[in-house]
Amino acid sequence: MALNNLLKEKEAVILKRWFDAILETYAPETANQLRQVHDPFANPASQSIRQCIEGIFRKITGQIFTEKDSLSLENMLKLRAIQDITPSQAVSFVFFLKMIIRDELKNEAYSAALYNKLLSLESEIDETALLCFDLYVKHRQKIYELKSEEIKRAAFMLLRKSNQQPCSMEER
């Protein structure tokens, strides 16, 4: 059986296990909320994670990676960029997919052709992780730029206010 057919057959299980593995990286209370609330308006983070991993799965299995998939990947990395986690923690979720696929296919008969396709798939996952890292860094940099601009604006306002209303020596 071809690798993509095996993956398509196991897609629902793989995506569920991947989603659960990602939730394990969050605090237990947060993970429970992400797991239990299915309304995309009440729980946009959960929806973002689901859309992102579905898009990545389509990408690595040679299906069409749409503009919507690209946007969901961006949203996931924006979410990770605002969290207080290291860059490696932010993109580690991509590598979870490798372990899950290996585990799901461990009972399949491995031919040389299937093994080579699996190696190619893992290279695609690695490339996706690098793309995620680039996106994460881009969004983290944007956050730092926004913080820097806010500090500059606040300093300017303080200087402007002090110049407009000078205080006398007795008030100090």
Q: pLDDT band for position 5 (50/70/90)?
A: confident
In 3D, which of 20, 31, 34 has the Cα closest to residue 99? Answer: 20
Q: pLDDT tens digits, residue range 75-126?
A: 899 989 998 889 999 999 999 999 999 999 887 766 777 888 889 999 999 9
Fold adopted by 3-164: Globin-like (1.10.490)
- pLDDT above 90: residue 17: yes
In 3D, which of 62, 52, 65 has the Cα closest to residue 135? Answer: 52
First-to-last alpha carbon distance for the chain, in angstroms, is 82
The stretch 122-134 carries a mean pLDDT of 94
Looking at residue 106, the DSSP 8-state letter turns out to be T
Percent of the chain, pLDDT > 70?
93
* Residue boundaries of the structural domains of the chain: 3-164
